[in-house]
Amino acid sequence: MSKKILLCDNLAKNKSNYDVVINWSSCEENENSFSIPKTIEDNADQFKSQYLDWIYTLGRKKVNGKSVIEHLSIREDFSLWWMSLIFEKSQWKSPRIYQVFQLLALELILERLENVGAIDVTVDDKYICSLVKQWCSKHNIVYKNIFLQNRNKIPMSFTGALKRFPHIIRAIGWLVCYSFSRWPKKNLNPDYKFSDEKDAICIVSYFFNLEIDSMNRGVFCTKYWTKLHQVLAKSGKNVNWVHLFEKSDYCPTPKKAVKLVGNLNNNAYIFERHGLIDQSLDIGILVNTLRDYWKLILVSFKLRTVSQNFIAFGSEMDFWTIMSYDWKCSLFGKTAIANCLYLNIFEKVFKNIPKQNQGLYLLENQPWERAMIYAWKKNNHGQIIGAPHTVVSYWDLRHFYSVNEYHENTVNKIPLPDIVALNGDSAVRAYKEYDFPKNRIKNVEALRYLYLKDLPKEKNNTKDASLRLLVIGDCDPVVTNSQIRLLTECLSLMNQSVDILIKPHPLLPINCIDYPDIDFDVTSRSLGELTSKYDIAFASNPTAAAVDIYLSEKKVLVMQSCNTFNMSPLRGYKGVEFVKSAEELAVLLSEFTNNSTMLIDQNFFFLNNELPKWKELLYI
């Protein structure tokens, strides 16, 4: 007898009418139900490799006798494929990536079930429903879309409204707005010249996370590079800083950034110079950008049939419907024109500066980094080093590629740094597990986490004291609200007294008035200063601050979201608990005792305030 399946979201009712229930965005699973999020985690390595191999294959698919990479070769030896959203694999820019993995998990579950005759779907996403319907049609399975009543329609956001405009109009609009806001003003341009000394090092970094006290004294210092600033200053090595402007409270506009850079060049010691990439903007850059963008538009017509190749190896699910936006945006949308602009800017920057012995940049595998590496090498500068400044999470797909990618030896191969400077065993393991070339990996100290070396490890030994809980918020208001809602429900299930201290994300302040059902205090103090103020911590899923808690030998609980990747950098670490419900959180808090000892990875980060590994890498 054939089985009747329900593919449902959390709103579905009458689940008992079905032989098997498949939960699309719930971690609930029992004898007659399967969880898509749990299936993704249980088969993570398989799905991850499957996805990375598909991207590798897509880039080499032949269309009209040429590969996709060759079609997008905007220079003889550089392809804009490497800057596309598809290749970048950022879940923040391309949130529908997770749906690809949900579909792979759904397909795996259905393949394991026998005699599937019908599937009813209550997932509230027309694209997913369309893809499941296609799959059912291929397998002669009856498909039915059950519309749930009383669904609240979400009002369209400003961003959503913009997406309704044609890609080309939005692309040109972006270029106009970007150029208008960042066009160099002659009276503000600092008179700087980059050093041409043989030992010069060029550092490409964001003009963000600035140390305000230092900046007010005319001394450049950031939270990205911390003590490396002082090490470089003492060494006498010539340092040329190339900055990418990012808006912050201290520096809210490009105009203010240019002024600050001018002040730095006037006050800086003799071996240090600063410049913003936007100061290279001119009519020639814009003309070349528009010319390259026009090439992409023409190429997009030749690649119209590429949609037939959006099926991952070993799958029959067609992902074109949910990934077509990223493809179009990369070929003739805002992403396309931005990539053309960055390419032309970096070509000009590295053509005009003296030859640099070494280059160093913040590695996040963002598109501009590909253009920067290409322009750097094209102009015959020296060794280029990429340094991830924070943790490397398992599901941050930007850091990972198909194994085959590293064995290419073509003209248009992926632009990679000569060296990747990794800040701990955790990052090294992550890179080596996906066969990143070992000869390109160097160990360096974790600059942003050096304070952990001397962090006091204190515990509250008073048996009758209230449990002190530190809550680490997220930059996403939806995630933070879910955290506090989960905590509120949890407290109603507990008999124990809990004192709650919330540390919000810097980009998302929290006001006690907004949460009248729960009592808590708010702090902006650093985690290093808070060590003695809490016994156990409850962190949002993606935050890297959870690592700080873990390395301070305090118990850390991490909220597990069931509608996206487990982005926690502590995924897989012993002693770290992932919480999916108020009941789980209540049990873990109630059972907590300070007598337990956390077994931590002592080399999660490499920590040495003298920076011997950095000194060796930079020949200091």
If one counts every other C-beta atom within 10 angstroms of the C-beta of residue 597, the result is 9
Q: Can you tell me the mean pLDDT for 499-520? A: 88
Whether the per-residue pLDDT at 368 is higher than 60: the answer is: yes
Predicted TM-score (pTM) of this structure: 0.90
CB 30 within 8 A of CB 143: no
Taking residues 512-521, what's their average pLDDT? 89
Residue 457 pLDDT: 60
Query: Mean pLDDT score of the chain, rounded to an integer?
Result: 88
C-alpha to C-alpha distance for 585 and 596, rounded to whole angstroms? 18
Q: Is the pLDDT of residue 30 over 90?
A: no
pLDDT at 155 over 80: no
Instruction: Among 83-97, 143-157, 233-247, 512-526, name the one with the lowest average pLDDT.
Output: 143-157
What lies within 8 Å, CB to CB, of 208 at 6+ separation is: 222, 246, 248, 251
Q: Express each pLDDT in 9-25 by its tens digit.
A: 865 667 778 899 999 98
Question: Strands 272-276, 239-245: parallel, antiparallel or unpaired by DSSP?
Answer: parallel
Cα Rg, the chain, nearest whole Å? 26
pLDDT at 462: 44
The answer to whether the Cα torsion of 368, 370, 375, 376 is positive or negative is positive
Distance CA 83, CA 326 (A): 12
Checking if the pLDDT of 193 tops 80, the result is no
Tens digit of each residue's pLDDT (9 = 90 or more) over 423-438: 999 999 999 999 999 9
**Per-residue pLDDT at 615:** 96
Given this model, what pLDDT does residue 453 score?
A: 79
102 burial (CB, 10 Å; 0-12 / 13-18 / 19+) is: buried
242 forms bridges with which residues in the sheet? 204, 275
In the chain, the percentage of residues whose pLDDT exceeds 70 is: 92
Identify the three-state secondary structure at position 508. Answer: coil
Contact 95, 160 (CB under 8 A): no
* Lowest pLDDT segment from 4-13, 170-179, 197-206: 4-13
Task: With beta carbons less than 8 A apart as the criterion, state whether 222 and 248 touch.
Answer: no
Q: In the predicted model, is pLDDT for residue 256 greater than 70?
A: yes
What confidence category does residue 594 fall into, taking pLDDT thresholds of 50, 70 and 90?
low
Residues 6+ apart with CB under 8 A from 362: 204, 205, 206, 224, 386, 387, 388, 389
Residue 108 has pLDDT above 80, yes or no: yes
Question: Which residue, among 443, 454, 456, has the nearest Cα to 611 in the 3D structure?
Answer: 443
pLDDT at 598: 60
Question: Does residue 476 have a pLDDT over 70?
Answer: yes
Q: 138-152, 217-231, 273-287: which range is least confident on average?
A: 138-152
